[in-house]
Every structure is written in structure tokens, then in C-alpha cells.
A and B are shown apart, each in its own frame.
Chain A
């Protein structure tokens, strides 16, 4: 990054090799409003879908009985089996063929049954298909089970969000905690909306799988924030770069890492999804994999396009960064004329006094306070010793 050979106008390598080198210069932060609007529009649309169309709830929420009939050695069709089930006095809620080849089976779901009816239906299926009753798997769920699982999941969610917010707050800073949690909520809403839109079935596994994505989506966010913290640690000491630019650099530098971690994270989940849908057709594997698959994709998007820009928005509300932006703008005005930072600093100059009041120093990470405590300075120097020249180097490249 400290090389000067990639100046604009000169031969610029293609986007992939830039990506590979972490040298891209996408303006994530500058265009953040567009991403906000895009996300807001998508969420609004999905919210409409969620409220009008609703969710397709699995057997665990409605209550009912599911029969899994291996049908490798039978000529009975799914319709035959459904007919037999109806004949035994149960109403078929859904029937499907799962798996392939020897592993092929019919999965028939019916509403809630009395315990003796459960057996009666099983016997009816066995008679119809010639498969022994012992070979038919039955799973039975009461109507309250799904609600109980979801309730626990909701409790787990709240506890998780609180713990993670505390963790990020301690490990990074308050604003990052807020931005990360906001991005998480965005991921959840989007994932849920997607489920409503496509009509995928929601099971307790889906809900708990969704909680797991949160952990995963945060993984990405943490990687980006880690770099942001490193890049902006010395930011206020110089007038070379605004916070927004520092964050944008961090996103670009970690872009390949984000893409790589997301791809590598999604690959096994894709395998799980493939096997879950292809071989088993239904069940925990499919439910978990599907929600993870969707959630991870959304999570990768939100940490890059939303979480980090939100961080900028929040930081720019504080007087310290506003003043710093002014300083940077002033310095640049002396050198050259550039539109954006100047506009920004003009806005900042008009800031209310109460905003300044709002920005207490304890809201800043220790590294961002202008005169750090000696002990802490030593520690941060050892961690980010090499990062000092980099913002300077990349800034030169960028401003050209």
C-alpha cells in the first residue's frame, strides 16, 4: 500500500487483483446514504410482505405428526399414501418426496392426533406401502412446543445481544457496539423477511439457526472494526485524514478478508444445504443450513456496507471528530481544493453546542484521546507499531 505505482490514470490493475492486494478504493463511506436507502427500501418492502403474507410455520408451531416412510421397496405413490392417511381419519397437511435412490422416502404431515390415532395412521401407511410399521419414523409435536422453543430463543437473543454489546464496548468502543448491534438487527429482519417472501418454512431450528448467524455476522463486523480501530488509532494526532476516510480505507483493506471469510464460511454451509435438501429433504439439517446460508450472505453485506458507515455517522456527531474534520479540511484547503471534506467541515462548524456537550471523552476509545496515558500508549504502540505510516501512504494515493 505504501507504493506509489498505483496512481489513478496510470495503469491500474483489474479489480480482482486490486481486491487480492487490498488496494481497492471503493467509496463505501461516501456513498453510504445510497446503501442506507437501499437497505431501508428492501426492509420496508419485506416488512410489507411479512405483515401481509406472513410466515409459513412448520409442524412445530402448528402441532402435528410427521411420518417418514422409506419407499425404496414399494410401488405405492405419494398419493396412495396420502389416501391411506386420510382413510385412517387424519387430515393430510402436506406430503412430499425426500431424498433419492435407496434413501427415497415420503414425508407426510398431518394435524394433531390422539395418541391411538397416531398408531392407526402408521398402521394404515404400513398396510398401503407394505413397509413394516417399525420402518416408519414418526415425530409428533404439540402445538405449544414451537412457541416454547421460540420463546427461549428470544430470551437467548436478548441475552446474547446484551453480552455481545458489552463485549464489543469493552474490546472496542461504544459506537462500534451500537453499530454492530444495529447491523445484526438489520440482518435478522432481512433474513426473516426473505423467509416470508420466499415462503420457506420456519421451524425452531430455523430460529435458533438465526441466532447462530448473529455470531457469524458479528465475526465479519469484528474483523472490519478491528482494522478500523487500528487505522484510526493515531488519526486525531495528524490532520491528514478524516475519520470517514480512515474507516473507508479499513473497509477496503479488509475487503478481501471479508470476502474470503464469507466464502469460506458459506462453503460448508452450502454443502450442508446441498445434503440437507438433496439427501434428506426435510429436517434439522436443511433448516439450519438454509437460514445460515441466507443469514451469512446478508451478514457479509451489512458489516461492509452498513456497520462501518454507521460508525462514521455516529463518530461525526461528536465534537472531537467534527473539529478534526475541520482541521483536516483546513489543512487540505491550504494544499488543494477538494469538495467533500470542505462541505463536511462547513456542516460541522454549524454544530450545536449541545452536541459538543454530548461528546464526553470517555465515549472515545482510549487510543483516540489526544494524549493517551503512557502505559496505554506503550501497549498500543506495540500493537499498531507498523500502522503509522500506512494511513499516510494510502492517503497520498487516494487523494491523487
Chain B
């Protein structure tokens, strides 16, 4: 110290700076111990492994982007969440194992499905708008399968026979049912609907590309059952037919969707559960007759878990969702406590709607969406450009119906932006490549540090090991608890972070070197250097963290994983520098090693100019 005033001040400071290192190591051990314990617990007391992304284990990842006509504004978070739930439901109905569906950014929904056994075509359709159809109800029965199942679980003997007696009106049944256009062949379009039907009619959504054909299904249930089912024009009453039709209850939803509509309807063994789980778009085609169920309704007032549904046989759709211009919620003028949904039709739609109400006056019209009848009001009067749907709606139900009329079931339209299908083999290759890159990267850095800093290289090695010991359980824990997946980009983030982590050591060691060049012994140089290096490391890390956070929040696509691991490693790096690298350097400084010219790699000169420093101090 050249200045006279500062002569004794620094010495006092150095005295204070002899920090006890033991507490740091205890704290570090505690942190590492807790992390590992938590990770072990999270993994069910097995060795914790990070959750691998699809690009590393194989699987299919699809990005759907909300597409809003006429506006650049992104959809609201609620809209996206609503859409996500619907899409998740649809993905689940395709029968894949543990799909992962999440909102990314402001307008993307990502669907991740692990494994090779993925029906890409079916999955692709989950973002389809599923446009609304208005179909006249030909026939309706109640489906008690859900109720029976629920009761069977509670008290196996009880049967809901009395309710079955309240069979609903079977008006206008026979003549339409007699026509029997087979639903899934679609070979016999009924003309009138197709000509006006321009957009989103869902022709592509037919499920005939599945491996199963209608013939396979007939073969599965048996010839006799097939013949009997096709001959049905009403629910079978005799025991023999019922027994014969039993195999239909075993069909998968996909197989059920291949059956003609009247078979789906009349065979009582085909439950609403099977019908609801048909592939997306199974009843989308407007020009054919279909069968669909209503949403479950409570069977009794006291137990909401007991439900039943109506099963409807429906005519070809003449009025489509695109004919609706707006739908909003209002209240009944006669009874202000009663919610109604007001629907406005386009001019083209108004003509079709008036034709439909004319034809079906007094009977029910079903509003069909996503394989399900969302509402089946009875037509009270002929109307054209607007109509009012009333019923026992709650405000929420009325709003939902209005939304569905406005948007179809998805609150906005989605387009498939990317489909990434990675085979398990390629996944393993990529994982190995990523780990290999990490190994080479770490090896190069460590070799460089040993060459350059000699014995201090051990501090670098130790620090990197500590960093790894903290990062690994953290990543495993985040994977098991919060669904963080380790992707290839994420591994790249860790590899790059090796450099950033080592950089903070360089800043520190170079600083020590500088102090020692000034003639200090390691013992006095280390704490002094730490004070300054700390500032630099904090500033530089802050910049890295800012960039990682901004990228993670704002970017879309796989690179978010990169940003996440980069940010995480930077934070861990700070922790390691503060509680490991610094204390260990302090500790080493007390011994003789760092003062050894040949070992430490911190010396600037062949002969340390101790005399100079002594003169100053």
C-alpha cells in the first residue's frame, strides 16, 4: 500500500477476512444432502433420473398454434387453458399413454406423447376445430350403462328398472331410420347439405384410414350378431337377441365408429362411453346419419355420481356451425331468472334454419359437437334469422353453450405447426451424443485448467464436481415434481454452462494472480482478490441470468430447454463459487501449496518479488 492513510486499514480487513471455512462446507454438504434426499424421495427411493424429453427417448411432439382470423392479438390465457383441456381430452381419447399437453408461449399448445406406438393421423386431428352441427333427432333412448356401472360398484344387486320405464318419446322414428344411410361409408351423400357446405366440413376427419375395416368389426362380433344388429329397427326386446348382441359391448371406440349409425343406436350394448370416445371427428361429416350421446345428466337429485345419458339417432346435418354468426347469453323476457342463448344466423344460414325448423317443428334438434350432443332443444316454432335456445341453464352452462356455438368446441382455431416424431433408436443416439459432448467439453475445460493453473486445476475439478452434484438431483427433482424434461437442447445448455461455470473460476484465479503479482503471499492475496472477483462474477452472472430468463419466458420451441438449463447452471455456478471455490481457495491459501511457484500456476514471476511487497506493507 503506497498511501500512508491506508497502511493499517487493509491489514485490519485481512485479519477479519480470515473466514472460517468449515461452516461453508457444512452448508454445502447440507444443500447437496437435502437435494439428493429430495430427489431420491421424488423418485420413490430409487436412483433418481432426469425426465427425458421426447427427442431423447423417442416419441411424438406436436405444436399447435392458435390461429385467429382477422386479428393479430394473441388469445387470452383463459382461452388457451380451455383449449388445452379440450385437446388433452381428445388426446386421451386416442388411447395413448400419459400424454403431456401444455401451453407454450401465448399461442401454442404442445402435445407430447412418448413411445413408438402413436397413431400420428389421429393425433393430428386433435386440434381440428370440430365444427358444430345442427341435426334433427330421429330417435332417442336413455343409456344407463354409466349408472348401472356405478350402482354395480356400490350394490351389485340393485337394478334401475323403474327408470328404464320412462322411455322417451319415439316420434317420427321409423321412416327416417328405414333409410339407413350407413354412416361411415359416406358413399351416399344426400345432396342438399353438401352444396352449401364450404368450409371446415371435416371430410378429412373420417376415420377410415385406421387399420381396422368394417369387415373386421363384423368378423369380430360374429356373422349372426352382425346380421341381427343390421336388421334392428328398434331396441331388441327378446333375451335371445340381447345375448346375441353381447359382443358389441366389447368393441373399442374406434371399431364402434365404423358401424352404421343405426347399429350404433339400436344395439343397447353399445354404450355412450364407447360412443363418446370415438376418434375425433367421427360424427363430423354433415351429410350422413349419425349416433351421438348427450352429456351425462344426474339420475337422482342426491347423488351426482349417478348419471345417465341420452343416446340419439340423428339426421344428416343441414345447418352447420359456420351458419351461426353470433351467439350470446340473455335472459328470458318472461322470466328474468331464466338464462337463454340467442343465436343469430347468416342470411344463408337463416334459410337453412327455417327449412329445418319447418321440417322438425315439435321435435328435437340436437346441437352436436365433438361426438357429443351438447344440447337438444325441442323446436317450438319456425324461425329463420335468429332463434332462442331456452332450458334449465345456469349462467355458466348458457355461457358455455354460447361459446360452443361461436367457436365450435375449441375456443379458437388451431393449425398444426410442427410434428416431430423421433424413433426410440434416434432418441438414444441423440442422448448418447449429448452426453458424449458434455464429457468432451468437461474434459477439455479441466485439461486446460490443469495446464494453465496447475494444482488449482483440482479446485476447478472439485468445483465442477460439486456443481454436478447439485445440478443432477435438481434436474431429477424438477423432472419428477414439476415435469421438467431434459431435451437435447437442454443438454446443450449444460455443456455451454460448463464454460460459463469455469469462467467464474478464471475471473477469481486471475484476480488472485494479479494480487500475487503485486507481491502478496497467497494468504493475503486470496481474500483480497475475492472481494473484487465477487463483484465481477456477480455482474457477469447477472447478465447470463437475464438472458436465460428472457429467453425462457419469451422464446418458443425447444430452445426454451436450453435457456432453462443455462439459467439453472448459472445460479448453481454462483452457489458453487460462493460456498465451495472461495472457501477452498482460502483454505489452500493457508498452506504452502499456493505459494509454491511450480505448483500453483498463480505466479506471474519465476521468483516472487517478496521484498517489494514487504517494503510496501
A-side residues, CB < 8 A to B, are: 1-3, 20-23, 60, 68, 70, 99, 103, 105, 115-116, 118-119, 134-142, 144-145, 148-149, 152-153, 155-156, 159-160, 163-164, 167-168, 171, 204-205, 208-209, 211-212, 214-216, 218-219, 222-223, 226, 230, 253-254, 256-257, 260-261, 263-272, 274-276, 279-280, 283-285, 288-289, 292, 381-386, 388-390, 392
Contacts and interface: CB of A to CB of B under 8 A. Distances in A.
Contacts of A265: 496, 499-500, 503
Interface stretch (B19-27, B241-249, B436-444): B436-444
Residue among A119, A156, A274, A389 with most chain B CB within 10 A: A156
A1 B518 contact: yes
Contact of A385 (B9, B498, B542, B543): B9
A223 B514 CA distance: 14
B444 A388 contact: no
Interface string B496-514: 1011101100110010011
Interface in B393-436: 415-423, 425-426, 429-430, 433-434, 436
A205 B442 CA distance: 23
Contacts of A218: 540, 543, 547
B423 A137 contact: yes
A259 to B, nearest CB: 10
A216 B423 CA distance: 34
B512 to A, nearest CB: 12
Contact of A260 (B6, B452, B531): B452
Contact of A164 (B429, B495, B515, B543): B543
Residue among A149, A153, A266 with most chain B CB within 10 A: A149
Contacts of A270: 441, 444
Contacts of B440: 268, 271, 274-275
Contact of B554 (A156, A164, A260): A156
B170 interface: no
B209 A214 contact: no
Nearest to B520: A386
A103 B121 CA distance: 28
Contacts of B209: 116
Interface in B12-49: 13
Interface stretch (B95-103, B158-166, B359-367, B604-612): B604-612
Which are the 9 A-B pairs with shortest beta-carbon distances?
A: A268-B441, A215-B547, A389-B2, A271-B440, A265-B499, A156-B554, A275-B437, A271-B441, A208-B559
Nearest to B435: A275
Contacts of A216: 496, 500, 544
B542 A266 contact: no
A279 B433 contact: yes
Interface string B84-118: 00000000000000000000010000000000100
B539 interface: yes
B559 A382 contact: no
A369 B80 CA distance: 53
Nearest to B570: A215
Contacts of A254: 510
B284 to A, nearest CB: 16
Given A3-B612, A216-B496, A275-B434, 5 more contacts: A68-B423, A70-B426, A115-B124, A141-B418, A265-B499
A99 B433 CA distance: 10
Given A136-B423, A139-B419, A223-B540, A149 B489 contact: no
Residue among A204, A218, A268 with most chain B CB within 10 A: A268
Nearest to B558: A284
Interface in B514-541: 514-515, 517-519, 528, 531-532, 535-536, 539-540
Contacts, number: 284
A75 B116 CA distance: 25
Contacts of A118: 120
B227 interface: no
Contacts of B434: 275, 285
Contact of B499 (A136, A204, A211, A268): A268
A267 B441 contact: yes
Given A119-B121, A261-B503, A263-B448, A386 B515 contact: yes
B1 interface: yes
Contacts of B540: 218-219, 222-223
B329 interface: no
Nearest to B447: A267
B605 A21 contact: yes
A222 B536 contact: yes
B277 interface: no
A208 B562 contact: yes
A392 B557 contact: no
A258 to B, nearest CB: 10
Given A21-B605, A139-B419, A209-B559, A269 B517 contact: no
A149 to B, nearest CB: 5
A314 to B, nearest CB: 20
A134 B496 contact: no
Interface in B442-490: 442, 444-445, 448-449, 452, 488-489
A264 B506 contact: yes
Contacts of B559: 204-205, 208-209, 284, 288
Nearest to A60: B418
Contacts of A138: 120, 419-421
A112 B519 CA distance: 68
B546 A215 contact: yes
A289 B493 CA distance: 10
A158 to B, nearest CB: 9
A103 B3 CA distance: 67
B555 interface: yes
B271 to A, nearest CB: 31
Contact of A163 (B429, B502, B550): B550
A1 B550 CA distance: 41
Given A21-B517, A68-B426, A208-B557, A268 B444 contact: yes
B298 interface: no
Contact of A267 (B499, B507, B546, B551): B499
A48 to B, nearest CB: 30
Contacts of B449: 264
B65 interface: yes
Contacts of A140: 416, 418-420
B614 to A, nearest CB: 13
Nearest to B415: A142
B548 A215 contact: yes
B483 to A, nearest CB: 20
A385 B6 contact: yes
Contact of A230 (B2, B120, B532): B532
Nearest to A180: B543
A375 B506 CA distance: 31
A153 B535 CA distance: 30
A103 B426 CA distance: 8
B437 A160 contact: no
B489 A267 contact: no
Nearest to A17: B604
Nearest to B430: A280
B206 interface: no
Contacts of A167: 542-543, 546
B437 A156 contact: no
A383 B532 contact: yes
B499 A269 contact: yes
B554 A284 contact: no
A223 B535 CA distance: 10
Nearest to B536: A226
A230 B438 CA distance: 36
Contacts of B441: 267-272
Contacts of B436: 275, 279
Contacts of A153: 554-555
B103 to A, nearest CB: 14
A226 to B, nearest CB: 4
Contacts of A222: 536, 539-540, 543
Nearest to A386: B528
